[in-house]
Amino acid sequence: MSKRYFRLNEDMSSPERWVLHDTLDAQGKKVGARLYLNEAPTRFDGRLRVPILHPGSPLDFSLADAGDFPVVTERVASTLAELAPGDVQLYPAEVDSRPEPYFLVNVARMVRCIDEAASEEVRYGEPEDNLPDKIGYYLSVYGMRIDPSKVGDARIFRPWGYPAALLVAEDVKDALERTGATGLKFTEVTGPSPISDEERAYKQRCRELLEPPPAARRAAWKSLGVLDELAVAPRAICYEWPGHRQDWAIIHREAGRILLVSEGLSDPFITKLEPSVGFGLELALETEGTELPLDAIEGSWPYNLLERVSKEVVAHEHVREGAQTGLLALEVGVMGMPASLVTTEGRVGVLLGLESRTLPRHFPTPFGDVRLVTVKALLPAELEYVLMRGAEGAAELARRFAESGEEHVSRANRRAAV
């Protein structure tokens, strides 16, 4: 009979539980980097201290240091020491405000045992993830399954390539549960695969379609300036977008300008499971750096406007066609806009598809070329000019913007071109 193994996690179900912070040594320095995964025990002068990040009900088993280290009571520590003395290192620790003894647990034993074929989904770190330490290792493992025949005599261990997971043998699980310890959550990582062959084939096909486009887009963005790897732009699952993912990228340009671009309008239609460029376009709005604060992107007017325009693109075929083939003026309702851009009716005008000397009209992807559609915020007088004169008015505005050097750049504080 095959042995059973379980992933051990902190039970997060209770909203009243405490949350522990980073472990400190006697000098107040963090110990994580010195201790994590070290096979040889580390010596410390004095007892370690674990601050409480959020007060609440204490647990016998908690995870400190962002999940790297279990912090356990004496009864849990005794069980671990008895059943797997060669797999764990126990360090006496004080948890702030608690009188009883605690122990920090380091599990340094690594076993190459993840069964990729049986697991629901595994993903390796790639260069475009911008996580150098994850390249060649698992970035994520969903529905983990391991091969019990590769575990050997390990009873408490971490899987090679994905050390965030803490695995225990069935007898360790049973012994810990008999103690009545709180905070324990076990998920089996042996047994049948959690998904069927059909589901696995579907997921694989989705990955084949959705993984190439982001790399192509990133290459295009990097040719336009410095791609911001740290700024956090709003990201969402959006079933109206072709690949069901709505994302944004931020590119730093010359003269302190920032280019905000959509990411996902050119994904393949995931419901069709065939290569395509989705709607065939991505949107781009360039503005002054002062207009788009990187610590509050979601509340900024450039983001609000571009996000609102994207909804029009997704919802209306005539908008997509107009943006693909030439200039298109739109009038949209959007909150949080500068007063200088808002009409007396409370609307904001934009002009899509302005040509630019510094932005390409198209960029390549593995499934075809994608149109980069510029979005320029119009002042009320400019919007009225276009609405009264139609295509001729849009063309004349484009000419005047080019003459002034503004081209596609959106600014709230400027003089009208008409």
| 347 contacts 337 by C-beta, under 8 angstroms | no
Q: CA-to-CA distance for 124 and 257, rounded, in angstroms?
A: 34
**Which of 53-62, 197-206, 388-397 is the least confident region?**
197-206
**According to the model, what pLDDT value does residue 287 have?**
96
- pLDDT tens-digit series, residues 406-418: 899 999 999 999 9
What confidence category does residue 35 fall into, taking pLDDT thresholds of 50, 70 and 90? confident
392's enclosing H/E stretch is helix 380-404
Euclidean distance between CA atoms 141 and 124, whole angstroms: 9
Going by C-alpha positions, the residue among 60, 333, 339 that lies closest to residue 176 is 60
Check residue 15 and give its pLDDT. 87
pLDDT tens for residues 241-253? Answer: 999 999 999 999 9
In order, the DSSP letters of 133-193 are: GGBTSEEEEES--B-GGGTTT-SEEEETT-TT--EEEHHHHHHHHHTT-SSEEEEE-SSS-
Residue 135: predicted pLDDT: 47
Which residues, at least 6 apart from 130, have a Cβ–Cβ distance to it below 8 Å? 229
Model confidence over 176-214: pLDDT tens digits? 999 999 999 999 999 998 888 888 888 889 989 998 999
Domain range summary for the chain, segments of one domain joined by +: 5-188, 211-404
* The pLDDT of residue 126: 57
**Percentage of the residues of the chain whose pLDDT score is greater than 70:** 97
Q: Taking all residues of the chain, what is their mean pLDDT, rounded to a whole number?
A: 92
Residue 233 has a pLDDT of 83
Tokens in use for 400? 């005047």
Question: Longest C-alpha distance within the chain, in Å?
Answer: 84
Q: In this predicted structure, which of 72-76, 133-137, 308-312 has the lowest mean pLDDT? A: 133-137
Q: Count CB-CB contacts under 10 A for residue 160.
A: 14
pLDDT digits over 161-180, tens only?
899 999 999 999 999 999 99
Cα distances (angstroms) measured from residue 28 to each of 51, 96, 116, 334: 11, 13, 41, 49
What's the token pair of residue 379? 């002042």
Strand segments, DSSP code E, in 302-409 are 328-332, 348-352, 362-365, 368-378
Distances (CA, A) of 203 to 134, 193, 195, 226, 280: 22, 14, 10, 33, 23
> To 5 degrees, how large is the angle CA 269–CA 272–CA 273?
90
| Cβ(154)–Cβ(171) below 8 Å | no
Q: What is the pLDDT of residues 286-304, one digit of tens each?
A: 999 988 888 888 889 999 9
Tokens of 103: 């122990």
312 in Cβ contact with 283 (< 8 Å)? no
Question: In the prediction, which pLDDT does 121 show?
Answer: 85
Residue at token pair 């695995």: 167
**pLDDT exceeds cutoff 70 at 68:** yes
The pLDDT value given to residue 221: 97
Percent of the chain residues past pLDDT 90, beyond the cut: 77
